[in-house]
Structure formats: structure tokens, C-alpha cells
Amino acid sequence: MLARFGPVLTAMGTPFGVDGEIDEEGVVNLARWLVANGSDGLVVTGSTGESGTLSDAERRQLWHLVRQAVDCPVLAGATTNDTAHSLRLIKDAEEVGADGILAVTPYYNRPPQAGLIRHFGAIAQATALPVMLYDIPARTGRRIEIPTFLSLLEEHSNIVAIKDASGDVARLGKLAGLIEGRAQVYCGDDSLLMPFLSLGAVGVVSVASHWAGLGFQALVDAAVGGNLERAIRLNRILVPSYEFESSERYPNPIPTKAMMAHLGVCAGYTRSPLIDPPEELIADARKLYDELRDNLADEGVGLINE
């Protein structure tokens, strides 16, 4: 089954200036860089985009900038843990031309499954855009259970996908069979892409695709094409990127900002309570990038389009 939004989506970071304001030139540069180097689509103002520190006006600004900069699917992270607030943001996303909505599980207030059905149902009813649900219990404290997702699919034809960052590979094996032909699963954890593809996922919403998008494309192509040995080799090459993209010391998206600063695509500034990447992390990014470039070259894969 062809991936509705393409197999490699990037959860795009948000470029800020030293003053903490949105760097509009950096946003455009980053969006174009990603599309030129392996991203089939972009997810804007998700958790990697530091959505928790963005105002509604800034979200709209980012969706508009990215929509104008690139010709690919742009999914707007347009929901919060407040249903009414989410509906207002969705209207903004529609007005600036977003191609879809990424709808995250309400965080902190931890609603029951019946509350999730009501919340996501209201979102689906409020828009004609396709909706991708985002299941990430490590950040939200609540998972989208399989019966909940199935119930939503029965009632809302524009819920077309789920970004699964639950880490539960066994559940995916069951879920993919139950939703085949009705919705698609995107892996929400780079390190689990291989097992997810083998169990029916169509692609990935990635962080490391900021710098390894063409590597992810090659991995998906090999896995889907049945070349398991090549897919395994490519995955091994990408493992250091999985380890780099987030850690207890430097959680996502700080390492991404370090890598983008190293590549000169945009500045590495974040918003508090995150920290700007220190020089040691930028040095780690430089080393990782050089090793990744050389190892992918051995597989006939360029790291960037030149």
C-alpha cells in the first residue's frame, strides 16, 4: 500500500533566533533543505517543533511559511489538550493551506478512552482535512487503545493514519491487520522503523531524517522491496543517529538543533526550558555526520543531494 503522505515525513524542528523569536529565513531554509534531502512531507509544530512554547499566532506563522516554501504534504500539529482550543487552531491550519492535521493525544489531563473518542471525534468533524492521530504515551500519559482507534475509524472517514510512538511492537502486529485498507500506520520512533515496516507500517515520522532523510528513503525502499539484507545493513548504519537524536542529557530536539547548526542550515537556538546545544554536542554532531556520510556511501547512498 502506498503511503498516503509519502514514506518519510520529518517532524520539523522550529528555527529560532538568538532572541528566541521565530527565524523566518531559517524556517524556509530548513523546510527546503528537508524536502531536497529525502523528506516526502513535513510535520510542523509537533513536539520536535517545540509546540509547547509556541503561541497560536506563531503556529499559524510557521504553517504559512512552510506551506509557501515547499511543494509537499504539510501536516499541522494543530491540537492541544484542550478540545475547544484545538478546533480554533485547526481553522487556522485550514486557512493557511495545510494538507492535514496531526492530532496528539491530550496530555497532562489524561482523559479516559471515552474522552479520547469525544476529543478526536470533534477534531475530525471540525475539518475536511485528513487527520493523523499521534499516540505517544511517554509524553501524554495516555495511550490510544486499539478499540478506541477502531471506533474512531468507524465514525470518521477523514481519520486516515496514526503515528505510533507507543513503542509497542506486538500491538502494532495486531493493529495493522485490523485497520488494513482503512488507515495507515506511521512509525513514530526511528529506532523501531525496521520492525514496524515488517508488521505493516507504511513509513516513518522521523527526527533523524533532518540529516539522514536519504538514508531513511533507502531503508524503506529496501524493506518494502524485499531486500532484507540491505535494509538490515542500512538500519545498522542509522543506529548511531537514533542514539544521537535524544538522550536524558540532551533530549529531542536539542541534538537536531546541534546538527542543523553544524550543517549551517539554521541556527541551533531553542526556547526555554530547553537549552541551546553546547559545543560538545555540536562536535558530536559533526563526527556523527561524517561517519554517516562515509558509511552510507559504501551502500551507494548519498547523505545529501548535491
Helix axes of 279-298 and 254-263: crossing angle, nearest 10 degrees: 70
92-105 per-residue burial string, b: 16 or more CB within 10 A, e: under 16: bbbebebbbbbbbb
Contact (Cβ atoms closer than 8 angstroms) between residue 79 and residue 44: no
Residue 301 marked ligand-binding: no
Q: Is 287 designated active site?
A: no
Q: Is 269 designated active site?
A: no
- Catalytic residue among 163, 186, 242, 257, which? 163
Instruction: Find, among 71, 49, 47, the residue nearest to 58 by Cα.
Output: 49
Residue 205 marked ligand-binding: yes
* Helix/strand/coil (H/E/C) assignment for every residue in 115-139: HHHHHHHHHHHCCCCCEEEEECHHH
- Catalytic residue among 134, 250, 269, 289, which? 134
- Coil, helix or strand at residue 205: strand
| Cα distance from N-terminal residue to C-terminal residue, the chain | 30
On the CB side of 92, CA atoms within 13 Å amount to: 20
Cα 189 from chain centroid (whole Å): 9
Report phi then psi at 104, rounded to 5: -80, 150
- Which residues form the catalytic set? 134, 163
Q: Which residues are annotated as a binding site for pyruvate?
A: 48, 205
Q: Which residues are annotated as a binding site?
A: 48, 205
